Amino acid sequence: MKRLLGVALGILTAIGGFVDIGDLVTNAVVGSRFGLSLIWVVAVGVVGICVFANMSGRVAAASGRATFEVIRERLGPRAGLANLSASFLINLMTVTAEIGGIALALQLASSVNYLLWIPLAAVAVWLVIWRVKFSIMENVTGLLGLTLIVFAVALFLLKPDWGNLASQAIPAVPAEETGATYWYFAIALFGAAMTPYEVFFFSSGAVEEGWKIKDLIQSRINVLVGFPLGGLLSVAIAGCAAVVLLPAGISVTSLSQVILPVAEGAGKLGLAVVLLGIVAATFGAALETTLSSGYTLAQFFGWSWGKFRAPAQAARFHLAMIICLLVGLGVLATGVDPVLVTEYSVVFSAVALPLTYLPILIVANDPQYMGRHVNGRGVNVVAMIYLVVILVASLAAIPLMIVTGAGA
pLDDT in tens, the chain (408 residues): 545 545 444 554 555 556 788 888 889 999 999 989 999 999 999 999 888 888 887 887 777 777 777 777 777 777 778 778 888 888 898 899 989 999 999 998 898 999 999 999 999 999 999 888 877 787 787 778 788 899 999 999 999 988 888 888 888 888 888 889 999 999 999 988 888 777 777 777 777 777 677 767 777 777 777 788 888 889 999 999 999 999 988 888 888 899 999 999 998 899 999 999 899 888 988 988 898 898 888 888 888 888 878 888 889 999 999 999 999 999 999 988 888 888 888 888 888 888 888 888 888 888 887 788 888 888 899 999 999 999 999 999 999 999 998 877
Q: Tell me, yes or no, whether 3 lies in a domain.
A: no
Q: Tell me, yes or no, whether 12 lies in a domain.
A: no
Distance CA 143, CA 324 (A): 26
Q: Tell me, yes or no, whether 327 lies in a domain.
A: yes
Residues 6+ apart with CB under 8 A from 184: 347, 397, 400, 401, 403, 404, 406, 407
Q: Tell me, yes or no, whether 8 lies in a domain.
A: no
∠339-252-402 over CA atoms, to 5°? 65
Rounded to two decimals, the pTM is 0.87
Tell me the helix, strand and coil percentages in the chain, rounded to 5: 85, 0, 15
Q: Tell me, yes or no, whether 1 lies in a domain.
A: no
Number of domains in the chain: 1
| CATH code for the domain of 146 | 1.10.4160.10
Range of the domain at 315: 18-404
Contact between residue 234 and residue 59 where contact means Cβ atoms under 8 Å apart: no
Residue type, 62: A
Helix (H) or strand (E) holding 91: helix 77-110
- Nearest Cα residue to 399 out of 176, 178, 184: 184
Q: Tell me, yes or no, whether 2 lies in a domain.
A: no
